[in-house]
Amino acid sequence: MTRLFEPYTIREVEFKNRIAMAPMCMYSSHNCDGQIEDWHKTHYSTRAVGQVGLIIVEATAVQPEGRISAQDLGIWSDDHIVGLTEVVRLMKQHGTKTGIQLAHAGRKATVDGDIFAPSAMAFNDTYKTPVEMTVNDIKATIQAFKDGTIRAQKAGFDVIELHGAHGYLINEFLSPLTNKRTDDYGGSAENRYRILREIIDEVRNVWVGPLFVRISAHDYTEGGMTPEAYVEMAKWMKEQGIDLVDVSSGALVPAKIDAFPGYQVKFSETIKSGAHIATGAVGLITTGIQAEEILKNGRADLILLARELLRDPYWAYSAAKELGTEIPVPKQYDRGWTF
Ligand SMILES: Cc1cc2nc3c(=O)[nH]c(=O)nc-3n(C[C@H](O)[C@H](O)[C@H](O)COP(=O)(O)O)c2cc1C
């Protein structure tokens, strides 16, 4: 048995393999109300038929002003539970485990009205200047992550991922490049981590299942965060009951990224060995052999794929063939494997 197709268990939730679909915004809530549409149902259930072990539903906004675009999925209202429940049901029919990424876009929100961030600094000339959050605003957002978790639980998700990457709200608090606050939520690493600490504590009060945090391990900018700096925060996450750090990078500030196959895997390795926490590797991972190498060399515990699964929803079958392993096929598709 290859490592990629070995089952993997976190807090009694068993993934049938170590292939995860990374969260990917579909910008398909056509009525700008955060609701699940037919597109989401087809898109996610197709990857479930494709034997992905864990599907993490795209960045889903915990507050409407925290949407990247008006077409983002939302979980700020009980009205969202029905649609999400349906998507979970469709995915689970095929034995996949289901996750959802809870998100707030911070200064990278492009919705009408005021947008909010730790400090009143725009991402670049094309983005609005955000309003600096008051402590009351911060408390309301922490509560929104908790409420979103309760709704995700009602919808039947197995895994919650907190979006702390790509220059969105939590990431903006964590990095000194975007957090210029002088109160308890800015300054030292402990203070910049405070909002995430409080979100995790609130979420853990209502959620006993697997809990992931996605981070941008590198800001690629002088004075910004690095994988080594994140080791300290990942230790705090572990103490707080985070099960896995999903290690991405960049997009906090406009900086050039040299993206090559597996370019973020070394960050995953640094955090895994430095903080003794499980990690997910993501970023230009496209072959079974590459995935197997990462797992067998102990560089990550989970392989997340994004664009490759847009091109090939049945990637798991290709990877199994490449690695000389057989995986179950839905009985309707048996004929595809007989010659
Ligand atoms: C269409 C698209 C939408 C994305 N949306 C999200 C998102 O909602 N949340 C997130 O954390 N990353 C998002 N990403 C980033 C991916 O999850 C992933 O980290 C990145 O694409 C690198 O992996 P890949 O080389 O396998 O595509 C998105 C990427 C794509 C291509």
Report mean pLDDT in 10-residue bins for the chain, 339 residues: 96 98 98 98 98 98 98 98 98 98 98 98 97 98 99 98 98 98 98 98 98 98 98 98 98 96 98 98 98 98 98 97 94 88
* 3-state SS, one letter per residue, for 282-332: ECCCCCHHHHHHHHHCCCCCEEEECHHHHHCCCHHHHHHHHCCCCCCCCHH
Could you tell me how far CA 127 lies from the centroid of its own chain? 23
Cα(182) to centroid of ligand 1, in Å? 33
- Please give the distance, rounded to the nearest whole angstrom, from the Cα atom of residue 332 to the centre of ligand 1: 31
pLDDT value at residue 337: 81
Q: What is the pLDDT of residue 142?
A: 99
CA–CA–CA angle 170, 173, 179 (5° rounding): 150
* Centre of ligand 1 from the C-alpha of residue 336, in Å: 30
Protein residue with least CA distance to atom 3, ligand 1: 24
Q: Whose CA is nearest to atom 28 of ligand 1?
A: 24
pTM of this structure = 0.98
Ligand 1 pocket by C-beta < 6 Å: which residues? 22-25, 58-59, 101, 163, 165-166, 214, 248, 282-285, 305-308
φ/ψ of 267, rounded to 5, equals: -70, -40
User: Residue 194 contacts by C-beta under 8 Å, 6 or more apart in sequence?
Assistant: 173, 184, 185
Angle between helices 315-322 and 288-296 (to 10 degrees): 70
Q: What is the pLDDT of residue 1?
A: 78
8 close to 296: Cβ distance less than 8 angstroms: no
Ligand 1 site-directed mutation target among 19, 24, 52, most atoms within 8 Å of CB = 24
For residue 243, report the distance from its CA to the centre of ligand 1, in Å.
21
Cα(334) to ligand 1 centroid in Å equals 32
Tell me, in angstroms, the distance from the centre of ligand 1 to residue 264's CA.
Answer: 13
**Nearest atom, ligand 1, residue 22 CA:** 17
Q: Which helix (H) or strand (E) holds 163?
A: strand 159-164
pLDDT of residue 224: 98
Q: Give the single-character DSSP code of 65.
A: G
**Strand pairing class (278-282; 302-305):** parallel
> What is the CA(22)–ligand 1 centre distance, in A?
6
What is the distance between the terminal CA atoms of the chain, rounded to a whole angstrom?
A: 24
CB atoms within 10 A of CB 124: 7
Give me the helix-helix angle, 189-206 and 135-155, nearest 10°: 40
Which residue's CA is the closest to the ligand 1 atom numbered 26?
Answer: 306
Residue pair 279/245 in contact (Cβ under 8 Å)? The answer is: yes
> What confidence score (pLDDT) does residue 87 get?
98
Ligand 1 atom 7 nearest Cα: 24
What pLDDT score does 171 carry? 98
